[in-house]
């Protein structure tokens, strides 16, 4: 199945308690759901299952992380936090 979004993509939550927060897609599920994590409130071991209509897709994919996820490489929460922090810094600039 072809999705309009991909592993390693930065997304922003539109709805819920976490509205406005940045996350990374760490898993794809059937239909309209993805698994997201940020390494802090949502850790890689327990990603949040989120409906795609509640997410804003930035279109920015962290290639290095996408390769890690596809190859099932172990990812640390610190890595997710660092990627999101770097992205937020670049977004402000």
| Dist. CA 21–CA 50, nearest whole Å | 13
Angle at 27 between CA 40 and CA 69, to 5 degrees: 85
For residue 76, what pLDDT is reported?
A: 95
Mean pLDDT of 14-43: 93
The verdict on pTM exceeding 0.85 is yes
CA dihedral 48, 68, 29, 35 (to 10 degrees): 10
Residue whose entry in the numeric block shows the structure tokens 């897609």: 25
Query: Per-residue pLDDT for 3 more than 80?
Result: no
pLDDT digits (tens, 9 = 90+) for 33-79: 999 999 999 999 999 999 999 999 999 999 999 999 999 999 999 99
CATH architecture of 9-92: Roll (2.30)
| Dist. CA 91–CA 12, nearest whole Å | 13
For residue 57, what pLDDT is reported?
A: 94
């Amino acid at each position: 199945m072809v999705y309009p979004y991909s592993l390693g993509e930065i997304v922003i939550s539109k709805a819920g308690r976490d509205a406005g927060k940045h996350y990374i897609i760490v898993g794809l599920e059937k239909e309209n759901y993805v698994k997201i994590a940020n390494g802090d409130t949502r850790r890689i071991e327990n990603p949040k299952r989120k409906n795609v209509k509640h997410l804003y897709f930035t279109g920015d994919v962290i290639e290095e992380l996408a390769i890690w996820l596809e190859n099932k490489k172990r990812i640390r929460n610190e890595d997710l936090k660092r990627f999101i922090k770097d992205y937020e810094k670049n977004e402000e600039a």
